[in-house]
Amino acid sequence: MEEERTALQERANESLVLRLLPVLDDYERALQYVPDVEEFRPWTAGVELVYRNFRGILESFGVTQIQALGMSFDPMEHESVSYQLSDDHEDGMVMSVVREGYKLYGRVLRPAQVTVSRRNNKAGESPNT
């Protein structure tokens, strides 16, 4: 009976968190483009405080961010939305994160959307070599 109640609560939390993640995404996007103007600094500090509190609440419910940048692509945690040719990275390395991914109770709630490296092929070399 207790296990059923716990499972039901986890599913309810999952549903709620999935609906809140776009709000978190919006905060992160907004904070990336804050103008560096003195008169906006108090407002920016307030928005950053709300953002940190919001993340803290999600973390208290067991939400964790998936580590992606610089990691090897893992289809269980990452969703490739593009690739980038690179001579400096091995094939399959996450070069940038388009949208953060999250886990809840250790399970992937939403995969991270990422750009993955692909080695430049030398002339005459097939992509599979």
Q: What CATH fold (topology level) applies to the domain 65-129?
A: Nucleotide Exchange Factor Grpe; Chain A, domain 2 (2.30.22)
pLDDT: which is higher, 13 or 97: 97
- Tokens at residue 11, please? 């599913």
The pLDDT of residue 125 is: 54
pLDDT digits (tens, 9 = 90+) for 15-55: 899 999 999 999 999 888 888 888 888 888 999 999 999 99
Using CA atoms, how far residue 120 sits from 51, 97, 115, in Å, is 40, 21, 15
pLDDT at 8 over 50: yes
* Nearest to 21, CA basis, from 114, 115, 113: 113
Is residue 1 very low, low, confident or very high in pLDDT (cuts 50, 70, 90)? confident
CA nearest to 79, candidates 63, 101, 59, 61:
101
What integer is the mean pLDDT of 109-126?
81
Higher pLDDT, 116 or 3: 116
Q: Is the pLDDT higher at 13 or at 54? A: 54
Task: Give the chain's mean pLDDT.
Answer: 89
What mean pLDDT do residues 75-101 have?
A: 93
* Structural domain spans, the chain: 1-61, 65-129
Mean pLDDT in residue range 56-82: 95
